[in-house]
Amino acid sequence: MITVEGVNHQIGSVRILHDIRTRLPEGRLTALIGPNGAGKSTLMRLIGRLEALQSGRITVAGHDLATTRTGELAKIMAILGQNTAIASRLRVAELVGFGRWPHHKGRPRPQDRDKVSQALEAFALTSLANRFLDEISGGQAQRAHIAMSFAQDTPWLLLDEPLNNLDMAHARGLMTLLSELVRGQGRSVAMVVHEINYAAAWADHVIAMKDGRIMAEGDPDTVLTEAVLSKLYDTPVSVGRHRNRPLVLHHA
Amino acid sequence: MLLSGLAVLLAAISLLWMFQGIGGGNREFILRLRGGKLAALITVAASIGVATVLFQTVAANRVLTPSIMGFDALYILLQSVMVASMGSAGVAGFPDIAKFLVEVGAMSMLAALLFGMLLARRGRDIPRTILTGVILGVMFRSMSGFLTRIMDPNEFAVVQAASFASFNHVDTTLLPIGAALTTAAIMIALWLSPRLDVMALGREPAVSLGLRFDTMVIGALMLVAVLVSVSTALVGPVAFFGLIVAGLAHGLTQSARHTALLPAAALIASILVVGGQWIFERIMGQAATLSVVIELAGGIFFLYLLLKGRIR
Ligand SMILES: Nc1ncnc2c1ncn2[C@@H]1O[C@H](COP(=O)(O)OP(=O)(O)O)[C@@H](O)[C@H]1O
Ligand SMILES: [Mg+2]
């Protein structure tokens, strides 16, 4: 479980998050939704210790972020930020290989190489393994970054808008893979989802944020309703059903 | 493969440097003279090459070098402050090596503090980082200029000698300690290679992989400071040479691994400096100065990188 207690955050004099208090359940796929600028990425980055905590307390699987060494945390959670730009010029396989670094600290063992090939295979990157990241498409690069987090092989996986740049087939492939991780291997996934119907179709738990506050949270059926979503996005939304799950329609 | 090729090339050039045109008389004296200078050139070259690769890794940028950011100007300012506060007599009374070590220590602290802050704040905003660095460099230079103006002529001469690059007049009194510091710094950098590889990914991926990023930035900047202090103390400031070396190291190794990049940078830099100095000193008979040619070529390369938009 991830617990967030009394987390406030400000940049300059602007308050970005207001007293956030929430729990992300273990062994579930949690979707963070909300309009642009709601503070979803900021909350993700705080949980993933990419940003320093200004107030409050966050624990991941019982480890307090404030007192756990960052190298230990890297074996508990992998986080992929929204902006995945990489400074160095790397081949796909090298990037994915870095996902094993928390485990081998620079001396890859045979099992690390196996995990890397599995990750390449799972994200259909095997044929691109030797290409440089700047010589493949945006969607392929996005998959390579997710594959790196996947290879990190942590109980928690935090992804900020991983569906960016992915076409329909690959987006669906990723969601299927993530729910298989959750249901088949008991791992926990938290992701920021921009396209709400991916949350509707795959999430077990939804957290809806607006203006730096949590507006609603719970299972998809209680959060993804016309009342909540219309207020969340300040726009009329209708919610139907498809295969016993909510289906959000936003064309007038 | 590449590394052994470069090592063989450097060995060949070094042999040429040592034995070419050696006369019958007083071989031992000439060899000792040439050997000392060879060691100094390699120390300086390796320092600049490794410092630049390290710095570019910290800055996540292929256009910046320690000199562009004002590292060597800071070192010269420190020297001026020392001379101005102790007087040339005081400095002369103070052993060279102790003075140098104090300078290197102060330089490491200041550089880690100053550039660490700068990179932490503006790391992503490259044009602004470059501009701030250039301004810092100008500031350091004019501050040491001011100090030298209020000094007496003897003190001035001490500082003056340190402020211009020259591969012809290498300060060999500091060679043993300089070579030792350079060797130690390069060894530490090699030992840190796996962590440097992760650092090169950028702050966020590195933190996500569990690297203590801010500690690494400070450590790497201190190594850069030591290396720049050594090279500046031995030959003076060299602004753009590191840029060529780092560019070649990345281009030739085609690798992001520091176990390959760092030795490649050290070897390439040594080949260029020893080879260049050999040509200028023995073939062209001091008709031109290596440092000027290196700076010119490096400056053109810098412009090329900027114009090509390769600012990252
Ligand atoms: N570096 C920054 N400086 C100033 N404001 C920022 C910065 N990063 C984010 N913000 C502001 O914080 C708020 C939340 O941003 P973010 O967490 O990225 O939102 P989301 O991911 O939900 O779109 C926004 O209003 C945004 O403008
Ligand atoms: Mg966001």
Distance (Å) from the alpha carbon of A247 to chain B's nearest alpha carbon: 34
Which residue in B56, B208, B254 has the most chain A C-beta atoms within 10 A of its own C-beta, making it the best mutation to test that interface?
B208
In short, whether A40's Cβ falls inside 6 Å of ligand 1 is yes
Assigned architecture for domain B2-16+28-307: Orthogonal Bundle (1.10)
Query: Which range (A202-216, B59-73, B112-126) has the least confidence?
Result: B112-126
Query: Which range (A84-88, B121-125, B276-280) has the least confidence?
Result: B121-125
Distance (Å) from the alpha carbon of B112 to chain A's nearest alpha carbon: 21
**Residue B312, pLDDT score:** 47
From residue B225, how far is each of A239, B48, B70, B83 by CA, in Å?
62, 11, 11, 20
From residue B36, how far is each of B32, B277, B280 by CA, in Å?
6, 14, 18
Going by CA atoms, what residue is nearest to atom 12 of ligand 1? A16
Contact assignment for A87 to B312 by CB distance below 8 Å:
yes
- Cβ–Cβ under 8 Å, residues A119 and A174: no
In degrees, rounded to 5, the angle at the alpha carbon of residue B298 between the alpha carbons of residues B292 and B302 is 140
Ion ligand 2 residue ranges (Cβ < 5 Å): A 41, 82
In short, whether A102's Cβ falls inside 6 Å of ligand 1 is no
Ligand 1 atom closest to the Cα of residue A40 is 22
In short, whether A13's Cβ falls inside 6 Å of ligand 1 is no
Q: What is the pLDDT of residues B151-190, one digit of tens each?
A: 777 666 666 666 666 677 777 788 999 999 999 999 999 9
Distance (Å) from the alpha carbon of B257 to chain A's nearest alpha carbon: 10
Q: What is the pLDDT of residues B257-275, one digit of tens each?
A: 999 999 999 999 999 999 8
DSSP letter at A132?
B
Distance (Å) from the alpha carbon of A231 to chain B's nearest alpha carbon: 33
**Residue B1, pLDDT score:** 83
Q: What is the pLDDT of residues B210-250, one digit of tens each?
A: 999 989 988 999 999 999 999 988 888 887 889 889 988 98
Q: Is the pLDDT of residue A138 over 80?
A: yes
Residue B37 or residue B288, greater confidence? B37
Contact assignment for A48 to B208 by CB distance below 8 Å:
yes
How far apart are the CA of A43 and the centre of ligand 2, in A? 9
Quick one: tokens of B198?
């992760």
Going by CA atoms, what residue is nearest to atom 6 of ligand 1? A11
How far apart are the CA of B301 and the centre of ligand 1, in A? 38
Q: How far apart are CA B20 and CA B108, in angstroms?
A: 39
Query: Which range (B78-82, B112-116, B122-126, B293-297) has the least confidence?
Result: B122-126
State the pLDDT confidence band at A47, using cuts at 50, 70 and 90. Answer: very high
Chain A nearest-CA residue for B215: A70
Calculate mean pLDDT across residues B104-119: 82
Q: Is the pLDDT of residue B124 over 60?
A: no
Q: Residue B242, Cα to own-chain centre: how many angstroms?
A: 7
The strand pairing partners of A161, in sequence order, are: none
Q: Annotate A108-136 with b (16+ C-beta within 10 A) or e (fewer).
A: beeebeebbeebbebbebeebbebebeeb
In chain B, the percentage of residues whose pLDDT exceeds 70 is 88
Name chain A contacts of B205, Cβ cutoff 8 Å: 84, 86, 98, 148
State the pLDDT confidence band at B286, using cuts at 50, 70 and 90. Answer: low
Q: Is the pLDDT of residue A63 over 50?
A: yes
- Look-up: residue for tokens 């030795």? B263
The pLDDT mean for chain B works out to 84
How far apart are the CA of B299 and the centre of ligand 1, in A? 39
State the pLDDT confidence band at A250, using cuts at 50, 70 and 90. Answer: confident
Domains of chain A and any CATH numbers: 2-76+155-249 (3.40.50.300), 84-153 (no CATH)
Q: Is the pLDDT of residue A223 over 90?
A: yes
**Residue B126, pLDDT score:** 63
Q: Under 8 Å CB-to-CB from B275, ≥6 apart: which residues? A: B13
Contact assignment for A106 to B194 by CB distance below 8 Å:
yes
Q: What is the pLDDT of residues B97-107, one digit of tens each?
A: 888 888 889 88
How far apart are the CA of A191 and the centre of ligand 2, in A? 11
Q: Is the pLDDT of residue B311 over 50?
A: no
Chain A nearest-CA residue for B211: A71
How far apart are the CA of A78 and the centre of ligand 1, in A? 21
- Cβ–Cβ under 8 Å, residues B84 and B151: yes
Calculate mean pLDDT across residues A126-149: 93
Q: How far apart are CA B237 and CA B264, in angstroms?
A: 22
Quick one: tokens of B306?
């900027």
- Which residue in B206, B201, B54, B265 sits closest to A88, CA to CA? B201
Q: Is the pLDDT of residue B34 over 70?
A: yes
DSSP letter at B310?
-
State the pLDDT confidence band at A17, using cuts at 50, 70 and 90. Answer: very high
Q: Is the pLDDT of residue A78 over 60?
A: yes
> Can you list the pairs that B140-144 forms with residues at least 24 positions away whose Cβ atoms lie under 8 Å?
B140/B70, B140/B73, B140/B74, B140/B76, B140/B77, B141/B73, B141/B76, B141/B77, B143/B77, B143/B80, B144/B73, B144/B76, B144/B77, B144/B79, B144/B80, B144/B81
Task: Give the ranges where chain A is alpha helix by DSSP (H).
Answer: 40-47, 70-73, 92-98, 101-104, 110-122, 138-151, 168-185, 196-202, 220-223, 226-233
Q: Annotate A187-212 with b (16+ C-beta within 10 A) or e (fewer).
A: bbbbbbbbebbbbbbbbbbbbbbbeb
Contact assignment for B210 to A98 by CB distance below 8 Å:
no
Q: Is the pLDDT of residue B70 over 90?
A: no
Sketch the domain layout of chain B as residue ranges.
Answer: 2-16+28-307
**Residue B145, pLDDT score:** 81
Question: ipTM exceeding 0.95?
Answer: no
Ligand 1 atom closest to the Cα of residue A160 is 21
Interaxial angle between packed helices B258-278 and B241-253, expressed in degrees from 0 to 180 and rounded to the nearest 10: 130
